[in-house]
Amino acid sequence: MVNQNRLVQSFMSLGLIDGIHGNELDIAKHLTKTLESLGLEVIMDDAGKTYGGNAGNLIARLPGTSDAPSIFLCAHMDTIQSTKGLKHIVKDGMITTDGTTILGGDDRAGVAVILEILTILREKKVEHGPIEVLFNVCEEAGMYGAKFIKPSALNSEFGFVFDCQASPGAYIIEAPGAVAFNIKVHGRSAHAAVSPEKGIHAIQIASKAISQLQLGRWDETGMLNIGTIKGGTSINVIPDLVEITGETRNANKEKLQYQIEYIRKAFDVAAKEFGGSVEIQFIEKYGGYQFDENTPVIVAARQGITAAGFEPRPICYPGGSDANVLNNNGLAALNLGVGFKNAHSFQECIAVADLVGAARIGLNVVLQCAIAEKSEKITA
């Protein structure tokens, strides 16, 4: 039932509306009109006020036509960079750009998929349960839109996020929590030529600590990275301060805590060895999650993916999304593969077949949820 031409045109039209994180008002206005034309009641919340944005999340509701559990469908409106001047190229079944802008597939592809699902339900008069739509703001800059949403804002116990680079059929059962860190290494300044022995070299302390760290991948969702190093004042002065930023991730809470203590110990030991000191601040960016394959949202997804003619593929994904925040806020949210590739770059692209496949899966997930008259029937 997916109309390929309509879906492709919808996706490309959405990409032409500039809406970088914090500046989503134009795309929000467009989507409000579109959703209302499809029979949904739409409100905008106050999420934008919490971070200085010009728009909030859109929360829309479509009444059910059958006695089925309410579910939500989610995608984010913002893009990582501007799409102003976007020129689409459609060739050999791929949608790309001319290489001067991003495509905006992350996550306008997810938005287009949800709009196509809603359009089909309306035009084909397909029976379905109540549907809530979340079009979130500021996912790319810290998931601030999703962080504003509380379970009380929705009637649904679970739902589906369309924001994953994996191909249709994949769904994320494990995604990491992320913790950023800021470390200040304190030494003691001195003249590097006249009295170097009076100094305590902050860069030396930092270098020793970093050399002890296992940077890069730890496991499927675990990682550790040093992102920036800043310090020193002159080539003939022993530096007394170095500032370091980085982050570490893991889906497993115990492993993530171990990685935090691992970082702390490396810097504490190095500082003690050279007579300096350190200040370490850890800041949680978002929590991780691990799904059991028998949870209702997973079962519903597998049923929908299979009904759409795809092979269900559970994956562990090292990146974060609104699903992380929603799950940690008490709303079971499963991120489904949409198929955009090379996100956050001018090489971003999406196959028409993947865009259509994601819409087919989303539609069948909605239909499979509607088959069950009660949520208890969506079980293993």
Nearest to 332 by CA among 81, 74, 86, 23: 74
Question: Rounded CA gap, 89 and 94, in Å?
Answer: 8
Helix (H, G, I), strand (E, B) or coil at 106: helix
Coil vs helix vs strand at 59: strand
The set of catalytic residues is: 78, 139
Distance between alpha carbon 307 and the CA centroid of its chain, in Å? 26
DSSP β-bridge partners for residue 58? 44, 135
Classify residue 295 as exposed, middle or buried by CB count within 10 Å of its CB (0-12, 13-18, 19+): middle
Phi, psi of 332 (to 5 degrees): -65, 115
Q: How far apart are CA 348 and CA 344, in angstroms?
A: 7
Q: What DSSP string runs through 249-286?
A: EESSHHHHHHHHHHHHHHHHHHHHHHT-EEEEEEEEEE
Coil vs helix vs strand at 43: strand
CA dist 293 → 174, 351, 375 (Å): 11, 29, 16
- Strand pairing category for 94-97 and 350-351: antiparallel
Tell which residue, 84, 8, 1, has the closest CA to residue 355.
8
3-state class of 346 per DSSP? coil
Please provide the size of the chain in residues: 380
**Angle subtended by helix axes 105-123 and 4-15, to nearest 10:** 140
**Which residue in the block uniquely carries the two structure tokens 């691990």?**
290
Candidates 85, 323, 40; CA nearest to 31 is 40
Distance CA 22, CA 174 (A): 28
CA distance 7 to 228: 42
